[in-house]
Amino acid sequence: MPFTGTSRFQILDKLGEGGMGVVYDVYDRERGMRVALKYLRRVNDSMGLYRFKREFRALSNLSHPNIITLYELISVGEEWYFTMELIEGVDVLHYVRTERSGELEYGETVTGASLLDTATQIELNVGASSALSRPRGERVRAPSPTPTSSLSTTTTRITEGLALPPIPARRTPISDIVSLDRMRDALAQLASALDALHAADMIHRDLKPANVRVTREGRVVLMDFGVVVEMQQPHSLERKGSAVGTPAFMAPEQSGDDGRPTAAVDWYAFGVLLYLAMTQRLPFEGTVMQVLDTKRSHDPLPPRVFTEGVPPDLERLCMALLDRDPARRPGGAEVLDRLGRGGPRKVPSLVEPTLDLGGRPFVGRARELGELRRSFDEACEQGGGCVIVAGPSGIGKSSLVERFLRELRIRRMADDAPAQTSRTTPVPLILSGRCHERETLPFKAFDGVIDALVGALIQLSEERRAELLPEDLRLLERMFPVLRRLSNSEAQRRADPPPLEMRGRAFQALRALLASLAATRPVVVQIEDLQWADEESLKLMRALLTPPVPVGLLVLTTIRSRPASAEDQDEGMGRVLSASDIEAELGAEVCRSIALPPLTAEEQRALVSRLGRGVSPAAEFWDQAMGHPMLLVELARMAEETPGVAEHGGALRLEDILHERVQRMPAQARALLEAVAVAGTPTPLRVLGVAAELSSSDTERAVALLRIGQFVHTYQSGLEPWIGAYHDKIREALVSRAEAEHTAALHRRLAEALEDWRQAPPGLLARHWHAAGEVQRAAECALEAARQAAHTLAFERASAFYRQVVEYLADSADGEATSALRCRAWLGLAEDLRVLDRTDEALALLERVESEAQNYELTSELAALYYMRGNLLFPRGDLDGCMAAHAQARVMAKRAGSPEREAQALSGLGDAYYIRGEMRAAHEYFDACIALCRAHGFVEIEVANLAMRGITRYYDQNDLSSALRDGMDAVTAAAWIGHTRAEIVARNGCVGWFLTEMGRFEEATREFETARAAARRLGARRFEPNSLNWLAKIAYLQGRRDEAAELAQRSLAVCRETSFAFVGPMALAVVALTSRDEQTRLEALAEGERILAQGSASHNYLYFYRDGIDALLAAGDFERALRYADALEAYPGGEVMKWCRFFAQRARLLCAAGQGELSEELREELSRLRTQARVIGLFTAARALDEALRDA
């Protein structure tokens, strides 16, 4: 289907089309500029899709003024397209020709055409159909009739079977064909582009005039990389017996079985282009087979045969490039020398001379590479681990890791290889990320890693992906929202487990996912600049690397070994980490460090020799680098760009060299780089351009210059590139010299641009507003950043932001707005302390909040304060303090007009009164809470309280049917919204219990087993004892006493580990009930009595004495059973309950029945109580009464 545009891209024109794609001129509404968009026509062609993606990815990290800039690769459904720089101009042959030369027509790309199929005829007559752009108004058209002076479009057949063109009767003067000055300049630019491409280990393979365009300003641009290939990549993806490229421009070796292609094939095509420019003819003409066969057996006729006045140097260059032996063809350096651009060379109209370091020279480090290889092999064979590559800034940590990962990529071939590719070695999955100093994302060390992981998983089939995705993916999505792209199901309303539990489960979900991947292919998690990692990232790393680490998982990091200075640390964001910090966090068992020393003298000389042409200052000049690779590179730049630098006196500082380079750049590029430096972290290019006060087109040109000069790097792509400093030293060189007033103004413009973007992390906004002097706005942003961090379970980072708010406001004048912000920050910090189980600190902080909030009558803040205080006191057993705090919270919530907070306070009061055992009061509070929730739609709070209302209704009113209805409603609603904790409470403490009381044991067992499974799934063992207690009682009632005793003991063991204060006495009573051993029974009951004697009345009291009575009755200990009955009826909870009265009366009647013959009066009382039990649904309790009457 043709591309029709999107909400973002508006089609303006169709520029051209080829065998694989169509190119459009479109307006990008997101970026506010025109771009070229290449659309893949045949998405079901696996090789075509592979090449399409490879075309984009090959250039995504390559910048050169004569190579087209690619922007974004986009896939929407089954549509694939990418955007790139719009080049408005003509092809290179039209650019260099004179007024008197005719129209030129030449061949289109033939991809994969079979060289064995002699019926295939390629007529070299298709015009520049794959051109990316033309001057506005010029349309794509069919080839025009060819003048006699132009290249013939008719296939020439030579009787001898050769494809040499016929010799003309009259030669055409070269002045009638080309402008030699323009041709030399254009070819030099093109040679520079090819040289850079080859330095990046890539081969174009389809160089021809249609793929080389020239702008009005004379800038030559190489484009259309649809068949680009890496030099080191095996080319088994191409079918045998086929060739890739345009036959007229293909080198002789491309049509044979001469192994993988080399850079020489591009230089051959360069020679064909030069030949065509000077002669208006191709070196060989004929059928495909004739042309390709003749190339392998014959040299072309010299250009002077066809053209008069050919410069001898250009003819010699042309014939050398067309040599049949690729080893004898000149390479980039020689071509540039012959074109007069050897040594230091200028890039026309774009940048000052720069050393071409695109190939990233690498020397030495054999020992360190060996250690990395051993670590990888051990991870694959024995168990995973972590390797830290440590060293000073610029020492070569990234280069070492890149070299090692390149080895792995060669080993794995290509990620996107079609199905026919065979692999005989493990295929490592490399997931790369980076920490940035000023980045404010939680879990920032893993942010890029997760992006890469999602990208890898999306490529899998749905079936395979479903096998890999963990059960708790939803919780992991809270930490990394990008994972939502993997979910096929519709979003469901779900409540969450407690925050720490949720984070732990999310950590384990990621570990399980990586382990599943590593089970079939090694996984390398690469994280650069770990010194900037946040505490949450370390916790996640520790969870992933807790022994035993999954086999096949290797975490590979780089970290600065030198402590950063104070200004290197982000305000309030914690310490800068060292390798020893990471080792201490992870443990020596799984972590090893590789310290990178400076280069040796021999390695330094080797690197200097590879840094570029024309660099030969005295040895003393290089000694200043002291073996530091980055400084060596910058010294090489200086030596190339600044004549006489070898005589430079005194020591050179890297920051001085960088600053000098920056000052020589055009003003627009300098302004954009200043914005990058002040931003401090990768930032959307659009935001940086606005802050630098540049137009969209100026921003694009400026960033191209900065990429070429290796000042910036593209770290992330979304709707547009994210740009950051290429190295921290570049940022430091600018920031350290900037005037305070200028920096503050730039911070303000960055903040304003970020706010317009509307996707800016609030922590980043906070930093810029604070640096701009806007303290109040900074504090508001930091507060929002803290809330977002807490929502993503990054509690330590949230605490840091809350403290940052307080620090920002430290010198602000007091007032209601300032105090409200400060109180909210303190409250947030107290909540984080509560989550982290630092209750004393949290309570102390609330005292401080209370004083300030009362001064300004901040009712919302006071309501939140009192509610939190109640929640802190509740688990401590301070029920008086808890109830008082929740009562105050309820009052303040009403004053503040916050029904949600009021409902929470009512729930807290209900819980406190329930634990105290005052069931009537508890029921009233739960009832009021539910009524308020239903009035305002607070579903989660309502669901959490439904079961508790049912339980307290049963205790207070013996209304089992109404209580069961509340419990069943709670189970249904909790399951619907995913509120697992509420579901567990409802099944355990309400529905399962009541079904047991009603004698419906099978149904009750299902409820308890379901609750128990949910508790295990949550990782919340504290809920298990309740399920086990009831399962033990059911087994006991069904006569499976040994099983019952085993379940009871298991419950008690788990209870002692997790929740003894909550259900300990209950578990002890069940142990006493089910045990056959008298000593065990007596000890369990004695321990329960001691515990209850030490505390206040509670729900534990009710359960313990009720089950204790049955245990004593079964053992025939009627005297003690009567004491338990008295204790139950005299329940010290402040109210008389029908439930207590019923079970106390039952106990006394059964004791009487067990000690002698039943009198008529006793029989009547037993019968009356049995009837009462059946009426209210207590059929299980009625069984003992039945037995007593039957035995009589």
pLDDT digits (tens, 9 = 90+) for 105-119: 433 333 333 322 322
pLDDT band at 613 (very low <50, low <70, confident <90, very high): very low
What CA–CA distance (Å, rounded) separates 450 from 436? Answer: 16
Query: Looking at residues 1110-1139, what average pLDDT do you find?
Result: 84
Which tens digit of pLDDT belongs to each residue from 249-266?
A: 999 988 765 556 889 999
pLDDT band at 418 (very low <50, low <70, confident <90, very high): very low
Give the pLDDT confidence of 629-680 residue by residue, as tens digits: 877 777 776 666 665 554 554 455 667 777 888 888 889 999 999 999 999 8
Question: 380-410: per-residue pLDDT in tens?
Answer: 988 889 999 998 777 888 889 988 988 887 7
CA distance 502 to 478: 9
- Compute the C-alpha angle 586/589/595, nearest 5°: 75
Torsion of CA 976, 981, 987, 988, to 10 degrees: 180
Under a CB-based contact definition with an 8 Å cutoff, are residues 835 and 869 in contact?
no
Give the C-alpha distances (Å, rounded to integers) separating 680 from 622, 659, 765, 768, 798. 31, 17, 12, 10, 21
pLDDT value, residue 1150:
94
In angstroms, the Cα distances linking 1043 to 267, 283, 1057, 1074, 1129 are: 83, 93, 22, 9, 32
Query: Which DSSP state fits 33?
Result: E
| 90 vs 1192: which has the higher pLDDT | 90
- Beta-carbon contacts of residue 375 (< 8 Å; ≥ 6 apart): 385, 387, 554, 556, 592
Check pLDDT > 90 for residue 1170.
Answer: yes
- For residue 1174, how many other CB atoms are within 10 A of its CB? 15
Residue 73 confidence (pLDDT) above 80: no
**Torsion angle, alpha carbons of 59, 63, 65, 69, to 10:** 50
Q: Which residue has the higher pLDDT, 344 or 1081?
A: 1081
- pLDDT band for 796, please (50, 70, 90 cuts): confident
State the distance between the two ends of the chain, measured CA to CA, in whole angstroms. 90
pTM here is 0.56
What is the distance between the alpha carbons of residues 547 and 554, in angstroms, rounded to a whole number? 13
To the question of whether residue 38 is assigned a binding role by annotation, the answer is yes
Contact 682, 663 (CB under 8 A): no
The DSSP bridge partners found for residue 28 are: 9, 33
CA distance 655 to 132: 41
Please list, in sequence order, all residues whose beta carbon lies within 8 angstroms of the beta carbon of residue 762, skipping any fewer than 6 positions away. Answer: 440, 781, 782, 784, 785, 788
> At 594, which helix (H) or strand (E)?
strand 591-595
pLDDT tens-digit map of 133-189: 333 333 323 233 333 333 332 333 333 456 677 788 789 999 999 999 999 999 999
Please report the pLDDT score of residue 355 as a whole number. Answer: 32
> Domains along the chain?
9-84 (3.30.200.20), 89-326 (1.10.510.10), 366-595 (3.40.50.300), 662-758 (1.10.10.10), 1135-1192 (no CATH)
Cα distance between residue 1116 and residue 1098, in whole Å: 27
- CA of 586: how far to CAs of 2, 500, 507, 549, 552, in Å? 54, 20, 15, 11, 18
